[in-house]
Amino acid sequence: MTRLSVNINKIATLRNARGGMVPDIVKAAVDCQDFGAEGITVHPRPDERHIRYQDVLDLRPHIHTEFNIEGYPTETFIELVLRVLPEQVTLVPDPPGALTSNAGWDTIKNKKFLSGVIARFKEAGIRTSIFIDTNEENIRHSAETGTDRVELYTEPYAENYIKGKESAIHPFVMAAEAAQEVGLNLNAGHDLSLENLKYFTGNIPGLLEVSIGHALISDALYFGLQNTIMMYKRLC
């Protein structure tokens, strides 16, 4: 069974739109766990337009499942992660002004940089994951950085699913097999939804975890948070 980590960034976006503390980020995370989520994901960005750095500190004592912090590894981000000590850190190649994650790492070009960052996290006992596309060369070179996992960037799958799910998933199956060949464990995330999740989890070998935020939080407006998490878990 693939584990479900709920990305709560969009809840923070709603709070920040009005100011104040409503909705309560900590309560939302605790509720997600109580409703069955096996992890909580946050992605603090330098402009703090959704999750703030203080949110990450506030959340840490309340996460009893798995805390996954995503982000581009600036020195400020690295210091935050080393202070919080989450169970997992996922490195993404977002520039500071990016609206959302839209590409995976070039692990050939950035191998030395990633290796140094990952070594610092692993020394602190934090599991590491690299956000990556389906390029098999990038996946194979990921193994040389010392990372524990790669997270497949699934927006292309979601975009092509309605055109033909078999062709949409094929490069992801190949990427998963490449990851297994070089001893990397596998996560996935970005634009996975109630529509396309079951086919993905049912066909990707060795998939340990999916991180889902935008679609899940949007569905919760219609179905309620508890029911929505249960719906997603059934697809895992």
Please say if 66 is a catalytic residue: no
Selecting among 38, 66, 70, 209, the annotated active-site residue is 70
What are the CA-CA distances from residue 234 to residues 100, 173, 188, 191, 217 (Å)? Answer: 27, 21, 17, 17, 16
Please say if 170 is a catalytic residue: no
Question: Which of 108, 39, 112 lies closest to 73 in space, CA to CA?
Answer: 112
Q: Which amino acid makes up residue 117? A: V
Please say if 70 is a catalytic residue: yes
The SS3 call for residue 182 is coil
Question: Which of 206, 207, 212, 172 lies closest to 194 in space, CA to CA?
Answer: 212
Give the other-Cβ count within 10 Å of 162's Cβ.
10
Selecting among 43, 141, 151, 209, the annotated active-site residue is 43
Q: How many residues does this entry show for the chain?
A: 236
Q: Per the structure block, which two tokens stand in for 207? A: 């998939």
Selecting among 141, 151, 190, 209, the annotated active-site residue is 190
Residues belonging to the active site: 43, 70, 190
